[in-house]
């Protein structure tokens, strides 16, 4: 195998316990943002490009298992072991709504039109909350066959997608009928399922396999065996020509989508990788680990020419490094630093 170029990531400290979920917002007028879930009970919001800390959402009393941002990155949502899902003002950090559940909430997702919040967890029920009527009881979708691990929306909010912690497969639910219309069969429980940005593929990780499914006919398009048990996988959103996977061996690997060949292997985490996600433009990707850190990797390997261009576009690497070190402390309370805000808009 050819010698691969070593990637040096931006390392984002701040969480005191394992990082278990990551979510990138779409590109907004103020740039794009990255939110992280951790067992330390405090989700964090960062500048998606630089990793700079923006704020910490404080209010949960248990591990946070899932986080997401709405389309405009104005609201955040989180699912926690304290039996609640919370919706937050992403600009101020204030709690907008707290939805009580009967058990641990493992997953949450905003609908594309941002009006609804979908949750799932140990109580084996998918709940849909109307954010315009937060005091109303949720609509409960037909009982899940197992404890819910992850949820998502697709087909312009007409279809729900969920996986379970204890049984294989991804279930697709019709929103109107509340019934399962299709099951994507897998041998092991699906730990990660992501709908591609263009809506063409569902990327799943189960056991030591990454699979790609067609969202129109739900056929299996590609299936690749990984070098270890993987917890998460993500497809490059712009060209769809590569994907990343991370798992128990602590490495973040990059693969060619068409052949399945490994093209890069990024080492640096000191514990299993729980989540990997591509940024909305595909220029970088983030990994969250048992070691409590988030690492943001440049999509590569880069040629010297591309590297020069990239550094010129993103400011000097030294500057970014200092900035990340300055802001990536665990800070009580939530506030928006004016400097950070200005930087994001530049």
Give the pLDDT of residue 183: 97
Contacts of 73 (CB under 8 A, 6+ apart): 25, 26, 28, 30, 32, 33, 90
Domain spans in the chain, listed from the N-terminal domain onward: 10-298
Residue 297 CA: distances (Å) to CA of 43, 69, 99, 103? 21, 21, 35, 35
Q: Distance between CA atoms of 197 and 25, rounded to whole angstroms?
A: 11
CA atoms within 13 A on the CB side of 284: 23
Give the pLDDT of residue 305: 38
Q: Distance between CA atoms of 266 and 105, rounded to whole angstroms?
A: 31
Q: Distance between CA atoms of 86 and 99, rounded to whole angstroms?
A: 6
Give the pLDDT of residue 5: 61
How is residue 34 annotated by DSSP? E
Give the pLDDT of residue 344: 35
Q: What is the pLDDT of residues 196-223, one digit of tens each?
A: 999 999 999 999 999 999 999 999 999 9
Which pair of tokens denotes residue 186? 């897998």
Contacts of 238 (CB under 8 A, 6+ apart): 197, 281, 282
Give the pLDDT of residue 4: 53
Q: Distance between CA atoms of 128 and 120, rounded to whole angstroms?
A: 9
Contacts of 344 (CB under 8 A, 6+ apart): 30, 31, 47
Which pair of tokens denotes residue 230? 């993987």
Which residues partner with 34 through β-bridges? 24, 46
Q: What is the pLDDT of residues 289-310, one digit of tens each?
A: 999 999 999 985 443 433 333 3
Give the pLDDT of residue 143: 87
Which residues partner with 289 through β-bridges? 273
- CATH classification of 10-298, choosing from 3.40.50.300, 1.20.120.530, 2.130.10.10, 3.40.50.2020? 2.130.10.10
Contacts of 61 (CB under 8 A, 6+ apart): 41, 80, 82
Closest to 157 (Cα-Cα) out of 120, 211, 195, 204? 195
The residue ranges of the chain whose pLDDT is under 50 are 1-2, 301-346
């Amino acid at each position: 195998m050819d010698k691969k170029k070593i990637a040096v990531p931006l390392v984002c400290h701040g969480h005191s316990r394992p990082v278990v979920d990551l979510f990138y917002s779409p590109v907004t007028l103020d740039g794009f943002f990255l939110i992280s879930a951790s067992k330390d009970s405090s989700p964090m919001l960062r500048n998606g490009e630089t990793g700079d800390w923006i704020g910490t959402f404080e209010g949960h009393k248990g591990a946070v298992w899932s986080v997401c941002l709405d389309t405009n990155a104005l609201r955040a949502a989180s699912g926690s072991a304290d039996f609640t899902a919370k919706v937050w003002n992403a600009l101020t950090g204030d709690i907008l709504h707290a939805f009580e559940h009967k058990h641990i909430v493992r997953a949450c997702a905003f609908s594309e039109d941002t009006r609804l919040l979908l949750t799932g967890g140990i109580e084996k029920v998918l709940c849909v909350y109307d954010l315009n009527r937060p005091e109303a009881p949720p609509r409960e979708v037909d009982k899940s066959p197992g404890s819910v691990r992850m949820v998502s929306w697709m087909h312009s909010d007409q279809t729900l997608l969920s996986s379970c912690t204890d049984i294989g497969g991804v279930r697709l639910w019709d929103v109107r009928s509340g019934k399962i219309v299709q099951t994507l069969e897998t041998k092991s429980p699906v730990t990660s399922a992501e709908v591609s940005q263009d809506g063409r593929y569902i990327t799943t990780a189960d056991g030591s396999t990454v699979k790609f499914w067609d969202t129109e006919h739900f056929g299996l398009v590609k299936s690749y065996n990984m070098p270890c048990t993987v917890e998460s996988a993500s497809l490059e959103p712009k060209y769809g020509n590569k994907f990343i996977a991370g798992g128990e061996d602590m490495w973040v690997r990059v693969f060619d989508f068409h052949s399945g060949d490994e093209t890069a292997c990024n080492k640096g985490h000191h514990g299993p990788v729980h989540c990997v996600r591509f940024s909305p433009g595909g220029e970088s990707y983030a990994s969250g680990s048992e070691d409590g850190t988030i690492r943001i990797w440049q999509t590569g390997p880069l040629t010297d020419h591309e590297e020069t261009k990239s550094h010129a576009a993103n400011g000097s690497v030294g500057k970014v490094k200092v900035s990340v070190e300055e802001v990536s402390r665990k800070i009580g309370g939530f506030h928006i630093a004016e400097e950070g805000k200005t930087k994001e808009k530049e």
